[in-house]
Amino acid sequence: MGKWTLRACAFALAAVAAVPAMAIDYYKDKRLTLLINFAPGGPTDIEGRMMARYLTKHLEGNSGIIVQNMDGAGGVVGINYIGEIAPKDGTLIGFVTGAAFQNAIEPLSRRVDLKTYEFVAHQAGTNVYYARRDVKPGLNQAVDLLKAEDLIAGGLGADNTKDLLMRLSLDLLGVKYKWVTGYKSNNAVRLALQKNEVSMFSESPPGFRALVIPTLIDKGEAVPLYFDPFHNGKDFYKSKQMEGLDILPFNEFYQKVMGKPPSGPLWEAYMAGVLLSNSMLRQVIMPPGTPPAAVAAVREAIGKLATDKAFAEETMKTFNFVPDWVATENVAEVTRANMNLDPKTRAFLLDYMKGGKK
């Protein structure tokens, strides 16, 4: 091997070694902001604030993380801020819910395409549905939902995945219902349900365990119905998030009450929503153009949560499961690929969300 080849190899190795070193040192003496795209007190906020505490621990040399909530329009306000206004120097990290689905449905409606954001990590999740027991003629168990006469489904917005998946599941079951949407946060809808302004809603497993079970289920005021299934693009699978909860995934609930597996355009639309929203329910993102060293440092810190015993103990105590964050080097590539929605399915969903043909 010639001296120029050896020298080139040496330069190449030095460059590779410099990337992790730069990532490790990037946040020395820097203060960060973790922006959450939903209001304080909700499940996204609870999970985001906990992550912030542990990121402070694993991001080398940082001088602290400030948590900022920027809710509105079903989470869109905060997501748009990250892409349009937020500093691109690595000092702002977004902890968001629902971003991938919104962009896949209407990619041209955003001034900044979500695919240009920096994707750091994501976590799968689901929605657990529940309803008031006093829905006529009486909702004592989940199967009674099919008899409901005055069901009012509460939501966050026409283009929010919670609204979409709830409406699709109810239409698949043939349930008659009224849809009232536009509430600012999960807390607002939950309060409306407690006041009997609406009678059905859904929560993430942490929100359901911490906020719904003790205040509504245990008091006999509401009953759990079903949850959106976990799906990896090929198969349904079980998740630790639902361990200990005697609730069926929607596909099994449908089979139980209808006597056949779900199918047809509504089901295909529902599954598209599940795959886009559930497989990437929570995302850690950064503004487009954020320095690679900053992205690498945050991704490395999130990866360390998998072996952080204190994080596992606190999340288990709080959520009854340990968040399983995907923080691999190819997470951005996979995320962008998953946001490519079939044009026919996109057209159906857009029409459906606008109140058109179901």
Q: How far apart are CA 166 and CA 192, in angstroms?
A: 17
pLDDT at position 10: 45
Q: Which long-range contacts (CB under 8 A, 24 or more apart) does 236-241 make?
A: 239/124, 239/126, 239/321, 240/321, 240/322, 240/324, 241/125, 241/126, 241/205, 241/319, 241/321
What order do you get walking across the sheet with 222-227 strand by strand? 177-180, 151-154, 200-203, 128-132, 222-227
pLDDT at position 117: 96
Query: pLDDT class for 270, splitting at 50, 70, 90?
Result: very high
Checking DSSP bridges between strand 200-203 and strand 128-132, what pairing results, if any?
antiparallel
Task: Give yes or no for a contact between 166 and 189, defined as CB atoms under 8 angstroms apart.
Answer: no
- List pLDDT tens digits, range 89-127: 999 999 998 788 777 877 666 778 889 999 999 988 899
Average model confidence (pLDDT) across the chain? 88
64 & 169 share domain: no
Q: Which of 246, 275, 304 is the last residue of a domain?
A: 275
Query: pLDDT class for 18, splitting at 50, 70, 90?
Result: very low
Q: How far apart are CA 214 and CA 198, in angstroms?
A: 19
173 & 233 share domain: yes
118 & 136 share domain: no
Among 22-26, 46-50, 153-157, the range scoring the smallest mean pLDDT is 22-26
CA atoms within 13 A on the CB side of 277: 24
Tokens of 4: 């120029």
Number of other residues whose CB lies within 10 A of the CB of residue 149: 11
Helix, coil or strand: residue 239: coil
230 & 206 share domain: yes
Is there a domain that residue 1 lies in? no
- List pLDDT tens digits, range 240-264: 789 889 999 999 999 999 999 999 9
Instruction: Give the domain range for residue 315.
Output: 17-124+280-345
261 & 162 share domain: yes
- List pLDDT tens digits, range 1-14: 444 444 444 444 44
Residue 149 maps to which CATH number? 3.40.190.10
Place of tokens 């959520």: 319
Q: Which of 240, 275, 310 is the last residue of a domain?
A: 275
48 & 72 share domain: yes
| Cα-Cα-Cα-Cα dihedral sign, residues 43, 46, 47, 48 | positive
Buried b (16+ CB within 10 A) or exposed e, 50-64: bbbebbbebbeebee
Is there a domain that residue 205 lies in? yes
Is there a domain that residue 6 lies in? no
Number of other residues whose CB lies within 10 A of the CB of residue 330: 9
Looking at the predicted structure, is the pLDDT value of residue 199 above 90?
A: yes
236 & 111 share domain: no
Place of tokens 């402070």: 56
Q: Which of 233, 260, 275 is the last residue of a domain?
A: 275
Looking at the predicted structure, is the pLDDT value of residue 284 above 70?
A: yes
Per-residue three-class SS string for 72-107: CHHHHHHHHHHHHCCCCCCCEEEEEECHHHHHHHCC
Is there a domain that residue 224 lies in? yes
Is there a domain that residue 301 lies in? yes
Q: How far apart are CA 215 and CA 328, in angstroms?
A: 38
111 & 139 share domain: no
Q: How many domains does the chain have?
A: 2
Helix, coil or strand: residue 118: strand
Helix, coil or strand: residue 289: coil
149 & 111 share domain: no
pLDDT at position 324: 85
Is there a domain that residue 154 lies in? yes
Residue 304 maps to which CATH number? 3.40.190.150
96 & 67 share domain: yes
Is there a domain that residue 147 lies in? yes
56 & 117 share domain: yes
Q: What is the DSSP string of 166-233?
A: HHHHHHHHT--EEEE---SSHHHHHHHHHTTS--EEEE-HHHIIIIIIIIIITTTSEEEEEEPPEE-S
172 & 264 share domain: yes
Is there a domain that residue 356 lies in? no
